[in-house]
Amino acid sequence: MHIHILGICGTFMGSLAVLAKELGHRVTGSDANVYPPMSTQLEAQGIELTQGYEPSQLEPAPDLVVIGNALSRGNPAVEYVLNKGLPYVSGPQWLADHVLQGRWVLAAAGTHGKTTTSSMLAWVLEHAGMSPGFLIGGVPQNFGISARLGGTPFFVVEADEYDSAFFDKRSKFVHYRPRTAILNNLEFDHADIFPDLAAIERQFHHLVRTVPGEGLIIHPESETALKRVIGMGCWTPVQTTGDGGQWQAKLLSPDGSRFEVIFDGAVQGVVEWELTGKHNVNNALATLAAARHVGVLPKQGAEALSEFRSVKRRMEKVAEVNGVTIYDDFAHHPTAIATTLDGLRKRVGDTPIIAVVEPRSNSMKLGAHREGLAESVALADQAIWYAPANLGWDLAATVAGSPVPTTVCDSLEAIIAKVKADAVPGTQVVVMSNGGFGGLHGQLAAALA
């Protein structure tokens, strides 16, 4: 079967393409923005990519068109599909029908940490010899690929609350029917499709409704929004993590790079890894709870996490030039920015940290997270903000009250000049964006060299 994917370079759709190819289909795709890591992964898989959405890409007609949620009515390719009556489906629906049927699905949902947690879980199961399938919205470095079918009934999926397609406004995760569900945390996000937090809580409750009575739901004890979700009705056993929960961590180093795992009051093992931050410790507890549900002993899981190598673009060290370290990080929400910097600060002590932030997500472009932005960089020594001409709101005014020295730049050249002027040997430069940021990381490294 020839499957053409519209929006193929999104992290979810790119992963879907890999699975479709592994199932033996001929897979092609198109996207408006083609950039790594998805573009390079797809090329390595021999999947043909086209830039743009010309209807001519759909001639001769493919057997099926999978339409990504970034595409809407008015898009030339979408209009062509509808006018010609070509068969089409959303990505989550295709995944549910062709990959997840009959499998034990383990889903990681939440505002933050989905990619990292699903990567951890897939690795823990792999380490235990369970050869899971997975679909992850990023590239876990232990696997070097974002998706695979796997050789057993177990399948780990990053479960996103974003909508499925222009013709299906349900959250993607409603399609997945998990038996084991991690709910990491819940904050307001995706202001382009959700009016308020209550609307997102309602979608999370739709997910809870699909988990069987013999399944398991895992969430942090401290998350009040998730408690409200569970309070709407829950028919599944629940385990809790973090302070006051059944699964707890005792930090053996302040940056979270070493900690004891405690379940029901008993020490299960020690995790010693290269990750930092309380948020990753919490991700690890949820992972171990989910893995235990499918038979992996917590001690065995802790040993696996000690060999976990994180995900591309999650505090990924991309260069070290003349003593200056450059990280690529996906953080694009004030909470994620703050927790990422907290983990790094606890690791490097008084070493200078420069945070470079691009407000690029749809919620950021709508100004939904303006309130928390100025404070989110408090643990850096200085912050450099990128304000492109089309941002639509006054970034400089928003971050003017920041507790650290702040610069707002309207070009990559200005950012590079500022970092070059201020970075001394030992400086940690964290570049935060949920996009390619115009290849800033490489340009910075070249300029510093």
Binding-site positions for ATP read 110-116
User: Are β-strands 258-263 and 247-251 bridged in parallel, bridged antiparallel, or unpaired?
Assistant: antiparallel
| Runs of H (alpha helix) within 294-405 | 298-305, 334-348, 362-365, 370-376, 395-399
Kindly give the pairing relationship between strand 154-158 and strand 163-165.
unpaired
Q: Are 301 and 106 in contact (CB under 8 A)?
A: no
CA–CA separation, 369 vs 169, rounded Å? 23
Q: Which residue has the tokens 């979810």?
A: 12
Question: Residues marked as binding?
Answer: 110-116
90/147 Cα distance (integer angstroms): 18
Q: Which is nearest to 431 in space by CA: 418, 84, 370, 6?
A: 418
Q: For residues 57 and 51, what is the distance between their CA atoms, to the nearest angstrom?
A: 10
Give the whole-angstrom CA distance, residue 339 versus residue 124. Answer: 24
Q: 58 Cβ partners below 8 Å, 6+ apart?
A: 4, 65, 77, 80, 81, 84, 86
Q: What is the CA radius of gyration of the chain?
A: 22
Q: Pairing state of beta strands 324-329 and 316-321?
A: antiparallel
